[in-house]
Amino acid sequence: MTLRLSEPSRLAASVQASLDGVEEALMLDDNRAASLVVGNYDQNIAHLERRLNVVAHVNGNAIVLRGAREAVDHARRVVESLYATVKRGKAVGPGDVDGAIEETALQRGLFPEKSEPDPEPVRAPGRENYAGFGHITTRKKGIVKARNAAQDSYLRVLARHELVFAEGPAGTGKTWLAVGHAVQLLEAGHVERLILSRPAVEAGEKIGFLPGDMREKVDPYLRPIYDALYDFMEGRIVERALQTGVIEVAPLAFMRGRTLSNALILLDEAQNSSSMQMKMFLTRLGEGSRMIITGDPTQVDLPPGQKSGFAEAISLLSEVEGIGHVKFGHQHVVRHDLVRRIVKAYEDQTNAGSR
């Protein structure tokens, strides 16, 4: 990637800088990669403009950025990051723009640019091996990097702890990253099987009797986990693993009495588990196993008056050694920018009502 500020741009930059901003031109060598960075109908660049409060003009493989000096510098680093991602053969979208914004901001904080580079790179204390956000790697998906600091912390907590609680609103990647981490451990041979569980509780409505065998009855409740599995594993491999028991689907109510060894156990939508169910589930952890429990405390579908075992367990076990806990907020939503605003609106209403 060649980055250069043309002479006309230098003149414009000096004029603009005397007012309230600067201008910088980025020339991307690869036209195809440049179009992928920009996105369909310039959606990635438009998202960059909204997030960083800059103005970006695209002309072929040239991108001109205008705005405050710090914002333009940040936008340039984001474009560089996206360009490098595209050159590695990865597609990028608005969510990747958000991730690049978060990561470049963190990198800037850890390793600030200097007018004269040091002979040897200076590393922040405790971050000597820092190489960007954490990631997971699977055969189908390749390298999947965290998109924000909360996801980065989540992946690092998953790597260090045998039992992890992840709480937060919809769209933050709690379940998706947990499934990716589980597949990574399975493919690396660190665990022998995956056990996926979820409380069989409808979201505010009764759907009645479901026909079929146990898997067919439980499948509708576990659809989000299946979707994530197919993202990280080939469909034929998932089906074979389900048939051979390498991947097991079990409703939470059927976990009692089991000892789960050498497995990765994932409990999704844990906010819909009762106190008794949560205690039962937590005590299933066997030798060589890991457990991930995800939930959104703001979307409890239990009958009125019944206490959620998820929130209770987080509070009760907060000081227990060996248990990790990650909390996401509306600012960490990566599903869609509109979802982020919707979640924030509901959070604001809840906070206003509690005052």
Range list for CATH 3.40.50.300 in the chain = 135-354
CA–CA separation, 235 and 179 (whole Å): 15
Which phi-psi region, left, alpha or beta, contains residue 128 (left: φ > 0; alpha: ψ -120 to 50)? Answer: alpha
Q: Residue 180 above 90 pLDDT?
A: yes
Highest mean pLDDT among 120-124, 248-252, 259-263: 259-263
Two tokens, residue 248: 């097991």
Q: Residue 252 above 50 pLDDT?
A: yes
Average confidence (pLDDT) over 332-344 = 79
CA–CA separation, 193 and 189 (whole Å): 9
Domain 7-110 CATH assignment equals 2.60.40.10:
no
Average confidence (pLDDT) over 324-336 = 86
Main-chain dihedrals φ then ψ at residue 57, nearest 5 degrees:
-115, 125
Q: Residue 58 above 70 pLDDT?
A: yes
- The answer to whether 151 touches 177, Cβ cutoff 8 Å, is yes
Q: Residue 302 above 50 pLDDT?
A: yes
CA–CA separation, 152 and 349 (whole Å): 29
Main-chain dihedrals φ then ψ at residue 138, nearest 5 degrees:
-130, 165
Q: What is the mean pLDDT of the chain?
A: 80
Query: Cα–Cα distances in Å, from 117 out to 3, 24, 120, 267, 298?
Result: 18, 21, 8, 48, 48
The pTM is what? 0.69
Rounded to the nearest angstrom, the gap between the alpha carbon of residue 312 and the centroid of all alpha carbons in its chain is: 25
Class of domain 135-354: alpha beta
**Residue whose structure tokens are 């500020």:** 5
Average confidence (pLDDT) over 9-22 = 47
CA–CA separation, 156 and 87 (whole Å): 26
Two tokens, residue 289: 């196993």
Query: Cα–Cα distances in Å, from 348 out to 27, 50, 173?
Result: 42, 22, 21
Instruction: Provide the pLDDT for residue 185.
Output: 93
**Confidence category of residue 345, pLDDT binned at 50, 70, 90:** confident
Closest among 40, 84, 85 to 58, alpha carbons compared: 40
CA–CA separation, 14 and 10 (whole Å): 6
Number of H helices, E strands in the chain: 13, 11
CA–CA separation, 304 and 161 (whole Å): 34
Average confidence (pLDDT) over 130-137 = 71
